[in-house]
Structure 1
Amino acid sequence: MRTVRFGINISLDGYCDHTSFNPDEAVLNYFTSMMNDVDLLFFGRNMHQLMFPYWRDVARDQSGSAAENLFAERISAIDSVVVSRSLESVEGNARIVRNDPAGELLKLKQQAGKTILLDSVSLLPEMISAGLIDEFNLVIHPGIVGSGRPLLPAGSLHEKLNLKLVETINFKSGCMALHYVKG
């Protein structure tokens, strides 16, 4: 059975608004290396629209720093599933799932393949409740942003989820990567 990994940037006060962060080279390299064993991205509509086409354009034009270009190439090369009821279409190596995202992720998890990377705050409570996430990779940024989307809305989980910390990485920028597995 495939591993499902959740990965996201988050502020000290628990918000996941990617527009509030400016990851440095080391953080980008961390996320790039985290995708080395990933062969499928599972995104919600908002995250897909935030990440693409931006990173595909960077990959195509090689318009970023060396770390940005490498991240862009890697993320653009991985097949994607986008959960959306409103998107008409997606480009490239992506496809849309309109209903039952937990059922779709379970089906994909049971297929042969490498790790699946889930990056969607809106889908997180449903996927945790369904028991589908095996690993959590949080990169904590040293800032308090005061607004945005919280990692988990209050009351969104029915049961406590115990995790085991297996790795901590401190970056010179003050960011900290925390890698957890189910406890």
Structure 2
Amino acid sequence: MAIAVLAGCSSGETANETLPPVTSSAAPTSEALQPLGPPDLRLPAGAREQTAAGAKAFLDYYVELMNYSTTSLATESLRDLSRDCQTCSRFADGLDEVSDSQRRIEGAEFSINGSSDPLVRNGTAEFSMSLTQRKSRLLSAAGEPLPEFDQADTTFAGSGALLSWDAERNTWLMSNITFQ
């Protein structure tokens, strides 16, 4: 048997000329994935796994991205990492309005107090969670406080999130987030 295998290579061809090309159906490595998120707050590789842990990592990242966007008033990544999420669009629209009026926001940081393990099925991940938004105030273009827009710390204990899997970009996307 060994003679027959060796005889197949006796014609002078190298193995890479006679063997079929190797193909892989494995998920792309993190080096091969298109970077997502702002350059100084990239979506972590762990959030790009279609697993319960990946969904949780994406949820944590998206809340961090909301905080980043509130400070930077840059909403492109919020929109890019959501799909048909009305709350996400309204949030980004509000930040765009603040930016367009040359105002800025102080505070308003969101934090997740706790969340359920995600229910992952059919390309979606569903969470129940509790969020807190820290007190905030809106400042005019001149940097003066606008007290009529002040908000106290607010806890949204009955909140939730729905993520959907984007197989083309190999990432979760925010489909719905509720603040209740």
TM-score, reference length from structure 1: 0.23
Higher relative contact order structure (alpha carbons within 8 Å, sequence separation ≥ 6) = 1
